[in-house]
Structure 1
Amino acid sequence: MPDEFTPTILIVDDAPENLAVLSELLQPLYRVRVANSGPKALRIAATLPCPDLILLDVMMPEMDGYQAFEHLRKDPATAYIPVIFVTAMDNTESELRGLEMGALDYIAKPIIPTVLLSRVRTHLELKRARDWLREQNSYLEAEVSNRITESELIQEVSIRALAHLAEIRDPETGNHILRTQHYVQKLAQELRALPRFAEILTDHYIQILARSAPLHDIGKVGIPDCILQKPGPLTPEEWAVMKTHAYLGSEAIETAERDASLKVEFLALAKEIAHWHHEKWDGSGYPDGLKGDAIPVSARVMALADVFDALISRRVYKNPMPLEEVQRILLAGRGQHFDPDMVDMFLAHFDAFCDIHERHRDPEPD
């Protein structure tokens, strides 16, 4: 007797005697549902329990079997239900048409019971195998997605942890790494509208860029406290030491790259940012005196974000600058310190960058 695990077969035929014959043949082994027209078959096929197999007559009034089959395939709820055409049209052309449309099989009337039962059993077994594979693929896709999400989370946490090492040694920066990360992401998204940046600033690149940004000052862990935490101006000798943090940061990241068994994409951008975010558009920056487009896009974006945050934020040695003064300094750096297009885009969205600063403002000092 059929039970809840028994496959369901939908028989579609406009002739009552054919429905009766097929039902009598199949009911001892399967759960059987019947429809005497194409439209009714479509309604039944889309309701639970969905058929595991459809035996579909071709020659029917109102909607023939081919038309019904096309409707079944267009509906996502019924698209994967296997269909066997059953018809008195015993000719090669009709058979080819049904198979070309995507039917699994084609059985001619009059029905030979043994043949029909064998075909039905075979296609139900194939369906079970396909369903199992589909479930396994869905499970594997979900598992891969979870692993990727977990890996990305571990990456972000590790990056933040490393960045905070530098922040702990230079406590005045506060939420600097968080703010600059958001500045970088926002600026890169806006720059994508410009043809000269459209090719490089893809969604994926911007995602990796924002993830890498917190490591821009990781090299400061190698700067002595007496220089890093000095409240007053640095001497020329001290400033020379301070500038080495760009090289120290890129060297540390490069060492991590060499130790990794596989290429880690974000490390390449993090190394660019750490090494060259103090370069200037006119070539007067450090450590390599790069000029113009020779400076990687990632480092140019970071340079502007870094300077903006330094100007607008409170430091031990200064109060935050008025917004008008910040704008004036950025504009003065256009074509000298910064990429001109980046300054124009930054100032065009200046309020948005100020909003980011407000959302991640440092706590007021006691």
Structure 2
Amino acid sequence: MVLVLGAQPETQPLLQAALQATCELQLGPDVEAGLTVARSGTPPALLLLDAAAPGLDAPALCQRLQADAVLRELPAIVLGAPHLGGGGAGGEHAPDCDAGAAAVAALQQGAADHVARPCSPALLQARVMACLRSRQAGERARAESQRLRDELTQRTAQLTAIQDVTTLVMASMAETRGSETSNHIRRTQYYVKALGWRLCTHPKFAATLTPTTIELLFRSAALHDIGKAGIPDRILLKPGKLSPEEFEIMKTHTTLGRDALTNAKRALGVEVDYLHHAREIAYSHHEKWDGSGYPEGLAGDAIPISGRLMALADVYDALISRRLHKEAMSHEQAIAIIRQTRGRHFDPDVVDAFLAIEDHFKAIAIAYADSPDDLRKKEDYLGIARV
């Protein structure tokens, strides 16, 4: 539909000859009433502004159209005012010397085209049809662009899902060989995420802990112990305390995890933020705030933030979880130990964040608690592995 704003009687023969056979015409002699029609129901495909209408300021009307969120989407063609002496009865029209300036002004204010009078019906029809084809081409391009965006979103979601599944499979394989259950992975992931969101407004952490980074930490935290896959069973599955020599070997799981993830990054040949954080967590989550941790003995802010978050999440879960060689501590006992090691084992700010959301930690532990069947399966596996 082509809606003519300010349609004058003397213009109607030209409009009918030019457009009646190819377009549905709707005449709107009153501009304001025509604009109301354009905003409601099914919008027209094109607006035609009849500059012959008394008082119609085409450039100003084009400016109004561009300022309107609905109307700016509709292409507008200005049909110029008739030359002096060439129009219909009674109105005064702009002199010839002003016609070009009026056309430029209308185009500058957003008109899609300007058709000067006098013009033939064939010319007006050609200009209108060209404008409609241009709009249709734009709509097709926008639809295709949206389709591609939707497809990209879908494929990105699929790749993320594949990445997450692969991560959980790898992490579960590593955890299966140790004393932890697979739920340890999920719990520590959610602990890290909870700490990240608590600290994201802290002046020291705000620049690093963006929503994107927190999500990457959540996903990559699952690989914190991936290096345990390289620790011998005689050490990894030992029910009692490790000897000093055995503990030195156990500590290498941090380096083994880092190296495995570094090799994965090198094989991909591109920088992947997810692998960067996973490598950082695997290597640094046993560092301690006072420098007494491993593998490098880093202290304070030299420890990556990701490693500091993972350190507390990992220790809390180890304390509250039942293992085959130990009983679980209560949530309150775990809080007391973490509070006592604030500034020694853990970043004080991370401990403060934990204490502020300790109920959230407790809820996560309950939601992903190990069942008796989980522990029985773990006991059966370790019994077979020791044979």
TM-score w.r.t. the length of structure 1 is 0.91
> For the Cα contact (< 8 Å) 1:99–1:106, is it kept in 2?
yes
Decide which moves more: 333-342 or 22-31.
Answer: 22-31
Give deviations 1:263-319, integer Å, cap 9, x for gaps: 222111111100110000111001111111111111111101111111122122222
Cα distance change, pair 51–310 in 1 and its aligned pair in 2 (3 A)? same
The answer to whether the aligner puts 1:50 opposite 2:43 as a matched pair is yes
Look up the equivalent residue of 1:27 and give its one-letter code: Q
Matched-pair identity in %: 43
Task: Describe how 1:184-263 pairs up with structure 2 within 5 A.
Answer: 184-263=192-271
> For the Cα contact (< 8 Å) 2:227–2:253, is it kept in 1?
yes
> For the Cα contact (< 8 Å) 2:18–2:124, is it kept in 1?
no
Give deviations 1:236-260, integer Å, cap 9, x for gaps: 2221211111111111111111111
Look up the equivalent residue of 1:271 and give its one-letter code: R
1:129 is aligned to: 137
Please point out which of 314, 337, 342 is paired with 2:345: 337
Aligned to 1:97, what secondary structure does the other structure show? Answer: helix
Give the gaps of 5 or more residues in structure 2.
Answer: 82-93, 377-387
1:79 is aligned to: 72
Look up the equivalent residue of 2:225 and give its one-letter code: D
2:115 is aligned to: 107
CA distance in 1, matches of 2:200, 2:161: 26
> For the Cα contact (< 8 Å) 1:38–1:68, is it kept in 2?
no
Cα distance change, pair 63–118 in 1 and its aligned pair in 2 (3 A)? closer
Please point out which of 29, 33, 36 is paired with 1:36: 29
Give the gaps of 5 or more residues in structure 1.
Answer: 1-7
1:26 is aligned to: 19
Cα distance change, pair 58–170 in 1 and its aligned pair in 2 (3 A)? farther
Cα distance change, pair 320–92 in 1 and its aligned pair in 2 (3 A)? same
What is the deviation of 1:19?
Answer: 3.5
Post-superposition, which runs of at least 4 consecutive aligned residues in structure 1 deviate over 6 A?
A: none
Give deviations 1:173-217, integer Å, cap 9, x for gaps: 330110111111110111112111111111111111111100000
CA distance in 2, matches of 1:63, 1:349: 65
CA distance in 2, matches of 1:174, 1:263: 29
State the structure with more CA Rg.
2
CA distance in 1, matches of 2:168, 2:56: 63
Cα distance change, pair 38–70 in 1 and its aligned pair in 2 (3 A)? farther
2:91 is aligned to: none
Look up the equivalent residue of 2:259 and give its one-letter code: E
Decide which moves more: 87-96 or 170-179.
Answer: 87-96
Aligned residues: 359
The answer to whether the aligner puts 1:155 opposite 2:148 as a matched pair is no
TM-score w.r.t. the length of structure 2 is 0.87
CA distance in 2, matches of 1:58, 1:229: 89
What is the alpha-carbon root mean square deviation over aligned residues?
Answer: 2.1
Aligned to 1:196, what secondary structure does the other structure show? Answer: coil
CA distance in 2, matches of 1:79, 1:314: 65
CA distance in 1, matches of 2:326, 2:102: 86
> For the Cα contact (< 8 Å) 1:213–1:270, is it kept in 2?
yes
1:180 is aligned to: 188
Aligned to 1:33, what secondary structure does the other structure show? Answer: strand
CA distance in 2, matches of 1:293, 1:99: 60
